[in-house]
Structure 1
Amino acid sequence: MTRAHLTIDPYFTVGTVNRRLFGSFVEHLGRCVYDGIYEPGHPTADDHGYREDVIALVRELGVTAIRYPGGNFVSGYRWEDGIGPREQRPRRLDLAWHSTETNEVGLDEFAAWLRKVGSELMYAVNLGTRGIHEALDVLEYANVPSGTRLSDLRIANGTPAPHDIRMWCLGNEMDGPWQLGHGAAEEYASLAAKTARAMRQVDPGLELVVCGSASAQMATFGSWERTVLEATYDEVDYISCHAYYEPKDGDYASFLASAVNMDRFIESVAATADHVKAERRSSKTMYISFDEWNVWYQSRYRAERHTGIGDWPIAPRLLENTYSVMDAVVFGNLLISLIRHADRVTSASLAQLVNVIAPIMTEPGGPAWRQTTFFPFALTSRLARGEALEVKLDSPAYTSALHGDVTVVDAVATHDAGSGATAVFLVNRDEESEAEIEIDVRMLGDIRVRDVWTVSDKDPHAANTLEQPDRVRPAANPTAALSDGTVTVSLPPVSWTALTLG
């Protein structure tokens, strides 16, 4: 059995856990919007065509802010196609995902849906095939109360109050050759800086996100961030990170340590931003918006994508990964990484929300259900409050092919001074053996163990499906015990655990 030790002290903090850390992402891709959140005629659909069963699950998931409408999709999107009477909206080719976009759902409909689920809107503008003028137009339409052509058009379209969108993404993955409008870093940086300055002339209080690298494996990673920030540092508030993980050639030992890569990615981007900060002799800190992250079996997409000139389906089944217990453990460990860097990562978006690499799945005309990844997100969103703590972890290590030596156990903790509640999130990466961890909680004072939930299974590849939607659920972990200021708890092999103290 692996034995690990963790020390928690509420006086050693990393940073406040921003509620935007528990955001998500809805792109016009596959069945995320159509047949996902919007399905007129479904037995649970409301008067606007939104699936009420999905709304209930989104509320349970606890997402706080949702990035929209893309993603790769946004670099070819004309936002004005999605407003006004539905019968007058054009159908367009979506070049990003080789589909037909009907534009039945646009900005107004999505904002209305967000009001029902209780989430904030984070909007991305098209800097791929469009630019400053279009960004100003959608900002005017969305945020100006009234008295201009576009604000009055919003009112005429049935939305009297402005959407008041505070957070805006300046394009998407513009470092990627697959992106419509992709160019050199200098080219994008110039356009992003000009767009940011123009948007702030309308509303100086906007929070703006500039595109970082699409992954840490990009050939331009690092130099892209430096070039873009040198041009935009004074104009924006965040730089984005994107990362997806999947097992390669059955190397589950490396896959289970994916959060090590995320840690290094975040720290590298923060270091690059701080380099630019020092060069500019600035007092401003650049924050990170990790606005795409997940487990994604990208290798499977090549077999399912459409490519023919006459083949442009509407809402095809794309990227509908079925997630296992192991995927959920890696997923939960990625959340640990985000919380561990709460001082710099103050916004994050799980990609995506429904059907497309998502924690929520639906069947047209049928049920909606929770994937295994639903549970770490929902529990972490609910329990991680207050300050992320600088914990001290002592764990045996193992050697992984991709990440070198990594700890068998990983952990993070949060503490809410107001309520006195502490949450500890734990992962056992061992594929065969359980781990016992001792947690020194003496500095928390007089406390008790409240709840302990573990996601695990004898079969680490077990999953929830349409046929077996409840095959995997979090289970109460009865092994936790508190004695003389030490909590001990056993962690099954390939498991994620949330423990609360108060």
Structure 2
Amino acid sequence: MSQLKKASMVVDKAYRVAEIDKRIYGSFIEHLGRAVYGGIYEPGHPTADEQGFRKDVLELVRDLNVPIVRYPGGNMVSAYNWEDGVGPVASRPRRLELAWRTIETNEMGTNEFADWARKAGSDVMMAVNLGTRGIDAARNLLEYCNHPSGSYYSDLRISHGYKEPHKIKTWCLGNEMDGPWQVGQKTPEEYGRLAAETAKAMRLVDPTIELVSCGSSNSAMPLFPQWEATTLEHTYEHVDFVSLHQYFGNAENDPANYLAKGLEMDRFIRTVISTADFIKAKKRSKKTLNLSFDEWNVWYHSNDADKQIEPWTIAPPQLEDHYNFEDALLVGTLLITFLKHADRVKIACLAQLVNVIAPIMTEQGGSAWRQTIYYPYLHASLYGRGVALHTLSKSPVYDSKEFTDVPYLESTAVYNEEKEEVAIFAVNRHLEEGLQLECDMRSFEGYKIAEHIVLENSDLKARNSAAQEAVVPHSGGNSKLDGGVLQAVLAAKSWNVIRLVKA
């Protein structure tokens, strides 16, 4: 043990970042690939309920305790007519879906998804089309979803069998409107003006909603962060959040560099915060704008397969990344990054939830199973509720191709005062050696270790499948607590959750 590299943390209940908004454990379902058709919805499946929803998938989603799910896109929303997805299913049109060049049958739509979300225990985060449409379609959809009755669109909803409004609280003003791949791409000025006017109209319909202004599609976009600065000049006083999207990959097969990419996410978040705060200062505003990181994940495994897909087919297997163990480790570091920024990141959506770059996979007519990334997402969602603590950490570091001074220890802690529980989340990035961790826990007098969960595997490329889950967590972690000092050995390349409870 003395030969191991050593790291330390101070975990004190007085060092608070913020109360964690449970919505940082949100997810995303887009009309893309098999996310909807064959994913959450498969009539005729042995587990299908009366609406065609797969109950095996619902069970896995409920286990994750997903608080909010973004819908219906994504790129898809920028040419989507919401009216196509309501009313009698038999009379709904089939459309050319332009974002992913498939046929959209519209069997699933707004009401059906609201039903599914209720069964999953999740709220809906609805996106409106600001690509091919605008103010009118957005305010009509909001009226359809949220107005009680006595108006054209609320009464139309009632005629479709939904007497009670859906009361959807959180709305995205378009999607990735800076992207050249987006149908209806906008300049910053064009988007800022349209989003601001759409926000004003929507708030007249329902003043209680929250609104998300589109940020840059990722941190490598040519206009980042000028896009944020320009669009927020228009939208700042009309919205509650600005969005961030980022995906990560390891196409170069460089694990040390790959596992450092949480630092890239951290830099992205800090840059958007500073840009939003600049606009706040410029406007002499009293409002602090929060962040919605409403698309994030690993995405690169399926790129070659997606190029082979025949256009204009129904629900082809698109973006079906089969994740390995190193992907789970990276996802763990990204979740830790959100917790470190809990004062400003209030919503985050793992993109996506089922089949499409997802923690849950399904076989048509067969089983549903957990990918490797399911587990850090599960642990963070279950045990990362309460107050994010500002931990003081020291760790040995390394340099990689893109990053310098990368700490081997990526960690944070969450204090659930109501349950009298503390959860330490930690990733050891070292590919060959364990890490000796010493935590000063003296402010948590009378606590004991409840369990030390570990996700580890000797093979970074190990994957799960329907036939076998090769990467699963265990509760046999090496840790002890004595005299207010926690001593733990974090295995090489491992995700760890050390849970402490009041004795």
Question: Same fold by TM-score, threshold 0.5 exceeded?
Answer: yes
Matches within 5 A, 1:42-191: 42-191=45-194
Tell me how far 1:387 sits from its aligned partner: 0.8
Aligned partner of 1:490 in structure 2 is 489
Aligned partner of 1:376 in structure 2 is 376
Give, in whole Å, the separation in 1 of the partners of 2:239 and 2:382: 30
Aligned partner of 2:399 in structure 1 is 399
The alignment's TM-score, normalised by the length of structure 1, stands at: 0.98
Aligned partner of 2:303 in structure 1 is 301
Aligned partner of 1:441 in structure 2 is 441
Q: What letter corresponds to residue 465 of structure 2 in structure 1?
A: T
Q: What letter corresponds to residue 183 of structure 2 in structure 1?
A: L
Give, in whole Å, the separation in 2 of the partners of 1:252 and 1:275: 36
Give, in whole Å, the separation in 1 of the partners of 2:399 and 2:60: 38
Tell me how far 1:379 sits from its aligned partner: 1.1
Q: What letter corresponds to residue 301 of structure 1 in structure 2?
A: N
State the SS of the aligned residue for 2:96.
strand
> CA-to-partner distance for each residue in 1:28-81, whole Å, 9 max, x for gaps?
000000000000000000011000000000000111000000000000110000
Aligned partner of 1:253 in structure 2 is 256
Where has structure 1 moved over 4 Å in runs of 4 or more?
none
Give, in whole Å, the separation in 2 of the partners of 1:335 and 1:461: 21
Is 2:28–2:350's contact at 8 Å kept on the other side of the alignment?
yes
Aligned partner of 1:207 in structure 2 is 210
Gaps of 5+ in 1: none
Identical aligned residues as a percent: 50
Q: What letter corresponds to residue 97 of structure 1 in structure 2?
A: W
Tell me how far 1:443 sits from its aligned partner: 1.2
Is 1:248–1:255's contact at 8 Å kept on the other side of the alignment?
no
Tell me how far 1:248 sits from its aligned partner: 3.7
Is 1:241–1:289's contact at 8 Å kept on the other side of the alignment?
yes
Tell me how far 1:302 sits from its aligned partner: 4.7
> CA-to-partner distance for each residue in 1:315-341, whole Å, 9 max, x for gaps?
000111111111001001100000110
Give, in whole Å, the separation in 2 of the partners of 1:44 and 1:205: 37
> CA-to-partner distance for each residue in 1:213-269, whole Å, 9 max, x for gaps?
111111111100000111111000000000110114122111101111111110100
The alignment's TM-score, normalised by the length of structure 2, stands at: 0.98
Give, in whole Å, the separation in 1 of the partners of 2:306 and 2:294: 25
Q: What letter corresponds to residue 306 of structure 2 in structure 1?
A: E
Is 1:4–1:409's contact at 8 Å kept on the other side of the alignment?
yes
Tell me how far 1:306 sits from its aligned partner: 5.8
Is 2:6–2:396's contact at 8 Å kept on the other side of the alignment?
yes
Is 1:301–1:318's contact at 8 Å kept on the other side of the alignment?
no
Is 1:216–1:265's contact at 8 Å kept on the other side of the alignment?
yes
Tell me how far 1:84 sits from its aligned partner: 0.7
Give, in whole Å, the separation in 2 of the partners of 1:296 and 1:7: 34
Aligned partner of 2:344 in structure 1 is 344
State the SS of the aligned residue for 1:333.
helix
Tell me how far 1:477 sits from its aligned partner: 2.8
Q: What letter corresponds to residue 479 of structure 2 in structure 1?
A: A
Give, in whole Å, the separation in 2 of the partners of 1:405 and 1:383: 29
Q: What letter corresponds to residue 414 of structure 2 in structure 1?
A: T
Q: Does the C-alpha gap of structure 1 residues 10 and 132 become closer, same or farther in structure 2, counting only changes over 3 Å?
A: same
